[in-house]
Chain A
């Protein structure tokens, strides 16, 4: 198999197996047998949503070569929608008035909250809204041939605009305090250990599904088309492919995956506020993928897991150090490991293939 494609079937299977093992272990050790505390399960669940977010970014960045520094926008859209569902359901079925309405002195929800207490409707919105947002933005950008760093900067700007909008208190999205105080999810008390472990398990299962799906998709002829777009989009256009459509398809799909991740993240942290839309998170997603290795879905999962685990661990005693560590990771990747941790394999086992390429006669 080609090295240049960063295709690692063995690593992919190992990663899928590890995710599946966690999905099985969580309900077993967290519930029946004991051994995993709800606190720990919750962290694993959060990391799983980050890993899914990283897989979403890798699909467009690693495979189609489109860097987004605004995937926090889609993640947060999913998060806000699920938060609205949880608050509305808590109000309709549990009689609990959300804090932000008390704070604003409102007795009624804004009109656009209508129907959100119903989970199927909320779920449909979680898929359709970010998908439509991505379609519109992608269509306008790709058709005008906005690409590369310009595309990345605009995604970042859009996310920032969304953050400023969400900081306003009169928009009906909870303002700068965000939304919190979720009481129940699908009729179950949200803080109960079984619910905590259940949410974590669902997150890991969704990660597994997303990972396998992305692995399948990139192995199809569509996946080859994406790699061709990444390697030389102009060449592909001059071969007769209107690249707008495949780019739009993978971009929107990536946005939906990110939104689903966000919709599972927010019930587990119990809060969403506009800081999820700050540039920090969106850049951090790119760092996860860069550390793990672009264009290898396993790399995205591993990178997200390592960095988020490190962040959780560090936040206990030295949260101020985090920006420096993140910057250090970026430097190491840029200077030493251009393909992220995947390069470590090359350093460990000197690849004979590399020598062959160099010594090959320049004559066919």
Chain B
């Protein structure tokens, strides 16, 4: 793949002075960082570095003690609840594949599209809106599951569930797409397929934030990485440079 220089797109996500604590345990003491539109930004770090906590704070699962999180420069995410943040354009793939197992692949995707974000009742009433099916068809092609459209999601292989969940997020064309360890537990073929999918998803109107343990995978997909350690960013830049950084080697790569 061709390496891309740090993209100069407008900022999609701005985290300022974020502090997250659970009782006496401070998971993230003071974190600030930027993700720009058009880039794939990797967040890596050893276990307990605060990676998932960061996603929890951005999506609303955890309430930070201090700080500010802005989407697209203007939207104050901390003022919104979880569903509102999703509707504002924040899509999150969970670490464990989270799909609706009893529903078909197509139904999973269709449910993920909100044509009438203000009212669930309105959404249900307009279920047969042709745009829903059309968008689902597009995404089915994009994630490569068109042939499995009518299969119950519970019957999919592990990797396919992960792709379906990514597809569910794509339905709404999120501004910020966050993937929490998307290739954990995948076979080599599935991992390659996922890397290809993520590269294809990179778009000028979208920022992609990937949390991952697999360094090679991150190097393959990410334009820029932030290395977290104890909730602090100890490195920011290209993955190749991260591998060479003495501090990063000490806390992470050396193990």
Contact = CB atoms under 8 A, between A and B. Distances in A.
A362 B157 contact: yes
A302 to B, nearest CB: 20
A171 interface: no
B16 interface: no
Contact of B98 (A3, A232, A242, A362): A232
Contacts of B101: 4, 231-232
A144 interface: no
A235 B166 CA distance: 12
Interface stretch (B21-29, B44-52, B80-88): B80-88
B112 interface: yes
Interface stretch (B7-15, B185-193, B199-207, B208-216): B185-193
Given A237-B82, A238-B86, A5 B103 contact: yes
Interface string B167-186: 01100100000000000000
A166 interface: no
Contacts of A230: 102
A239 B144 contact: no
A246 B120 contact: yes
Contact of B112 (A239, A361, A362, A364): A239
Interface residues of A, number: 33
A363 interface: yes
Contacts of B59: 238
Interface stretch (A84-92, A183-191, A203-211, A219-227): A219-227
Contacts of A225: 111, 120, 124
A228 interface: yes
Interface string B139-153: 000001100100111
Given A240-B114, A362-B159, A2 B104 contact: yes
A241 interface: yes
A239 B148 CA distance: 22
Contacts, number: 113
Contacts of A224: 103, 107, 111
A239 B93 CA distance: 10
Contacts of A5: 102-103, 152
B97 to A, nearest CB: 10
A225 B151 CA distance: 18
20 contacts: A2-B103, A2-B152, A2-B155, A4-B101, A4-B102, A4-B155, A220-B124, A224-B103, A225-B111, A232-B101, A239-B83, A239-B169, A241-B120, A242-B81, A245-B120, A362-B158, A363-B159, A363-B189, A363-B190, A364-B144
Interface of A: 2-6, 220-222, 224-225, 227-228, 230-232, 234-242, 245-246, 295, 357, 360-364
Among all A-B residue pairs, the 8 with the closest Cβ atoms: A2-B152, A240-B86, A221-B127, A235-B98, A240-B87, A231-B100, A5-B102, A4-B154
Given A237-B82, A240-B84, A240-B172, 17 more contacts: A2-B154, A2-B155, A4-B152, A225-B111, A231-B102, A232-B98, A237-B83, A238-B92, A239-B86, A239-B169, A240-B83, A240-B114, A242-B120, A362-B159, A363-B159, A364-B145, A364-B157
